[in-house]
Chains A and B, each alone.
Chain A
């Protein structure tokens, strides 16, 4: 995962059961840093962009991880979140029923 000052997260490789733990660690670090910022009164309002174009494998386990991560950020007050992803991944997310949880900002 790459992070920069504009709150962009790039996920690459295997976002499936195989690579879920590894991605979780990176996302957890990011979530923890956000939590620290909130606790310190430095609420970050910059939009978040998640880049999934480097993801090669995506399955229900990976979608669930994304959904939990995004829900966690929303609970901490994160606002806009956009995605960069290809059609295959968009279709995969749709077929697995995660449109609302991931792409629609948690709203049905």
Chain B
């Protein structure tokens, strides 16, 4: 008996489940994107097909992994969509909300299987009822109220569903002609699987006809020149048969002829299916495989454009071509690779440092090789880092629906524009920027944009615009959230700040006033809504952005609108820093925190309330001696004998006292928590070229430590 290792089985199942979860999420996102883009308009055939295909793929995957609850919902959804495709049910705008709701329920079920989160069965039952009512009512009305379906439909086997193939027990005899794309073999399509699926529907006979070339020496063995004639006796419908070919054949590559009541395959008494957008063809036409682009002068119909990026696992290898250009790799593996390359960079630095002590003439070849190694490792590092980069469209794609729903709720007309969707940033940053951006968009909708009446009264068009724009500027990613609303109200902000005891004055610059909205608990909203206005959020937005070394800027003009700009580093794995010496130790200070460095004169140094400060062009900045903060021995204890590095943390400035400046580095960040334990005042560590560990300073944290020390003193 063959025993399987249950552990291995578990690992494999989990891996494939994960793949399904990811692909299912992509299908749901695509479905939602199309639905939202309809803007209450009727979907065209391609859009309807794409939505259907997404539902079909989810159902197929769910079936493969045994997620029966998902099969149930997607099957009813798919049935409704299929009837719409066949013009049996007419589209109505309210169906968009119904489909979005169905997508939400499927998403909830997906989360249930993936994360173990709660699945509200009543929501599942409700959407099934609604969808079923539309199917039964022929689309006359989209039900808004709950309706009860028989328990066996809601909770039982899928076969009990009225639209399942077994509902019609009449056995049909179909003749199929399948003339696939010439590249079907190259796409990795397994025709055996497809034919096996057909055979599951009933009795199947298969006959291949090869369009034999006159010259064997010019034959391309990888090009399909075969067409198939199939005869199928089944109770399944034409749609069921077409479903099997959905990812393999265009409409004009598959003919399905119902010859149940007739005897002639030439169609004398038989009826072609209604959906087939083609008429009778000559045998030569019907049997000739679709022409190839490789054959000039022949018009290539090819696959539909929207099928090009099909990614479903049920596509019978349709994406074989794509598989050559991309593979799905776990983030853990990529991170492991990044770490290993980081180690390589450190090793290269060590080699360079050792070689620097060798005679450049005697060891010329070695030096040249090491320079080449340095270039190669840097290139390798950049390539590996780019593997973690993902397009920001992943975040942007969630906003069309949010804006649509909020606009309906608030009675506002809003157009959402996105620019720079392909801008890439680190996957980790994408995850952390999603919530802040969502909050900003909600704020724009609720507070920034006016009602249509107010806009018209202000001489604007009734509909407002929110623009999300992403771009890369040097080593940073800049994301703008722009609205053409009323703009920030300076007087109102100052008044609210005063009411809440937030330090503010009329003499403050506009920029400083705008930044007051990031104060904890600040809100200028006159009424608290469920969308925003509680004053909880903008401070969280700022904190979240700062936690990933980002910055937030605001510009606003009354009556014209507001722009909030978030600037982020490209990645969190490497950092540009300045190495400094304190005693026998070295530290790295992030370059983006440094304003300038100087050697102070005794005249510039003062003591205020027992604390050393330095006068920088009239501003007195506190001095933070690193040796003191980290309890180290240092020969440089007087500021005038060392170097002061002026740093800025969220607008708060200070002067860090070090013994000497050393060099500028791009360093690989290593987690202290993972490798040792958390060390206050640091954001991690790195390994230098001489093999020593240098702590990377966290300027924000340093300022906090200083305040705590003063309080403790």
Per the bound structure, the CA–CA distance linking A15 and B161 in Å amounts to: 43
In the assembled complex, B207 has its CB within 8 A of some CB on chain A: yes
Per the bound structure, the CA–CA distance linking A28 and B502 in Å amounts to: 87
* Chain A contacts for B225, CB-based, 8 A: 64, 68
Assess whether A63 is in contact with B224, with CB atoms less than 8 Å apart: no
Per the bound structure, the CA–CA distance linking A89 and B229 in Å amounts to: 21
User: Could you tell me which residues of chain A, from 72 to 108, have a CB within 8 Å of some CB in chain B?
Assistant: 72, 75, 92, 95-98, 100-101, 108
In the assembled complex, A61 has its CB within 8 A of some CB on chain B: yes
In the complex, residue of chain B having the shortest beta-carbon distance to the beta carbon of A61:
B185
In the assembled complex, B206 has its CB within 8 A of some CB on chain A: yes
Mask, B211-225, CB within 8 Å of A = 1, is 011001101011011
* Chain B contacts for A17, CB-based, 8 A: 185-186, 188, 222
Per the bound structure, the CA–CA distance linking A68 and B224 in Å amounts to: 11
Of B13-21, B189-197, B651-659, the one with at least 4 CB within 8 A of chain A: B189-197
Assess whether A67 is in contact with B190, with CB atoms less than 8 Å apart: no
In the complex, residue of chain A having the shortest beta-carbon distance to the beta carbon of B184:
A60
In the assembled complex, A37 has its CB within 8 A of some CB on chain B: no
Among A27, A95, A100, residue most surrounded by chain B Cβ atoms (within 10 Å): A95
Assess whether A31 is in contact with B216, with CB atoms less than 8 Å apart: yes
Assess whether A68 is in contact with B222, with CB atoms less than 8 Å apart: no
Assess whether B221 is in contact with A24, with CB atoms less than 8 Å apart: yes
* Chain A contacts for B207, CB-based, 8 A: 97, 100, 108
Shortest A24–chain B CB gap in Å is 4
In the assembled complex, B228 has its CB within 8 A of some CB on chain A: yes
User: Could you tell me which residues of chain A, from 38 to 66, have a CB within 8 Å of some CB in chain B?
Assistant: 59-61, 63-65
Interface size class of A (residues with CB under 8 A): 20 to 34
Assess whether A72 is in contact with B192, with CB atoms less than 8 Å apart: no
Do A69 and B192 form a contact, CB below 8 Å, given A60-B226, A97-B208, A97-B228?
no
* Chain A contacts for B226, CB-based, 8 A: 60, 64, 67
Per the bound structure, the CA–CA distance linking A59 and B230 in Å amounts to: 18
Assess whether A69 is in contact with B190, with CB atoms less than 8 Å apart: no
In the assembled complex, B662 has its CB within 8 A of some CB on chain A: no
In the assembled complex, A21 has its CB within 8 A of some CB on chain B: yes
Assess whether B206 is in contact with A96, with CB atoms less than 8 Å apart: yes
* Chain B contacts for A98, CB-based, 8 A: 208
Do A21 and B222 form a contact, CB below 8 Å, given A96-B191, A97-B206?
yes
* Chain B contacts for A64, CB-based, 8 A: 208, 210, 221, 224-226
Per the bound structure, the CA–CA distance linking A95 and B196 in Å amounts to: 8
Assess whether B210 is in contact with A59, with CB atoms less than 8 Å apart: no
Assess whether A20 is in contact with B212, with CB atoms less than 8 Å apart: no
Assess whether B208 is in contact with A69, with CB atoms less than 8 Å apart: no
Shortest B658–chain A CB gap in Å is 63
Assess whether B206 is in contact with A95, with CB atoms less than 8 Å apart: yes
* Chain B contacts for A23, CB-based, 8 A: 221
* Chain B contacts for A108, CB-based, 8 A: 207
* Chain B contacts for A72, CB-based, 8 A: 212, 216
Assess whether A61 is in contact with B217, with CB atoms less than 8 Å apart: no
Shortest A38–chain B CB gap in Å is 13
In the assembled complex, A10 has its CB within 8 A of some CB on chain B: no
Do A96 and B192 form a contact, CB below 8 Å, given A60-B226, A61-B185, A61-B222?
yes
Assess whether A24 is in contact with B208, with CB atoms less than 8 Å apart: no
Residues of B within 8 A of A (CB-CB), count: 26
Per the bound structure, the CA–CA distance linking A92 and B193 in Å amounts to: 11
In the complex, residue of chain B having the shortest beta-carbon distance to the beta carbon of A62:
B221
Assess whether B216 is in contact with A60, with CB atoms less than 8 Å apart: no
Assess whether A20 is in contact with B195, with CB atoms less than 8 Å apart: no
Assess whether B195 is in contact with A21, with CB atoms less than 8 Å apart: no
User: Could you tell me which residues of chain B, from 201 to 248, have a CB within 8 Å of some CB in chain A?
Assistant: 206-210, 212-213, 216-217, 219, 221-222, 224-226, 228-230
Shortest B185–chain A CB gap in Å is 4
Assess whether A69 is in contact with B216, with CB atoms less than 8 Å apart: yes
Assess whether B208 is in contact with A68, with CB atoms less than 8 Å apart: no
Per the bound structure, the CA–CA distance linking A68 and B206 in Å amounts to: 18
Assess whether A71 is in contact with B217, with CB atoms less than 8 Å apart: no
Shortest A36–chain B CB gap in Å is 12
Interchain CB contact (< 8 A) of B192 among A28, A59, A68, A100: A59
In the complex, residue of chain B having the shortest beta-carbon distance to the beta carbon of A16:
B185
Shortest B290–chain A CB gap in Å is 15
Per the bound structure, the CA–CA distance linking A65 and B222 in Å amounts to: 9
Assess whether A28 is in contact with B216, with CB atoms less than 8 Å apart: yes
Per the bound structure, the CA–CA distance linking A103 and B427 in Å amounts to: 56
Per the bound structure, the CA–CA distance linking A96 and B185 in Å amounts to: 14
Shortest A89–chain B CB gap in Å is 12
Do A32 and B224 form a contact, CB below 8 Å, given A64-B210, A71-B212?
no
* Chain A contacts for B219, CB-based, 8 A: 24, 28, 68
Assess whether A68 is in contact with B190, with CB atoms less than 8 Å apart: no
Do A61 and B216 form a contact, CB below 8 Å, given A17-B188, A95-B192, A97-B206?
no
* Chain A contacts for B224, CB-based, 8 A: 60-61, 64
Per the bound structure, the CA–CA distance linking A28 and B192 in Å amounts to: 26
* Chain A contacts for B206, CB-based, 8 A: 95-97
Interchain CB contact (< 8 A) of B210 among A32, A71, A75, A92: A71
In the complex, residue of chain A having the shortest beta-carbon distance to the beta carbon of B215:
A72
Interchain CB contact (< 8 A) of A96 among B208, B216, B222: B208
Assess whether A68 is in contact with B210, with CB atoms less than 8 Å apart: yes
* Chain A contacts for B188, CB-based, 8 A: 17
Per the bound structure, the CA–CA distance linking A33 and B185 in Å amounts to: 28
Interchain CB contact (< 8 A) of A95 among B195, B209, B217, B222: B195
* Chain A contacts for B228, CB-based, 8 A: 97
Assess whether B210 is in contact with A101, with CB atoms less than 8 Å apart: yes
A-B contact pairs, 21 of them (CB 8 A): A21-B221, A23-B221, A24-B221, A28-B216, A28-B219, A31-B216, A60-B191, A61-B224, A63-B208, A68-B210, A68-B213, A69-B216, A71-B212, A95-B192, A95-B195, A96-B206, A97-B207, A97-B228, A97-B230, A100-B208, A101-B210
Given contacts A20-B221, A100-B207, A101-B209, 4 further A-B contacts (CB under 8 A): A21-B221, A21-B222, A65-B221, A67-B208
Top 7 A-B pairs, shortest CB-CB distance: A97-B206, A97-B208, A24-B221, A72-B216, A20-B221, A61-B185, A71-B212
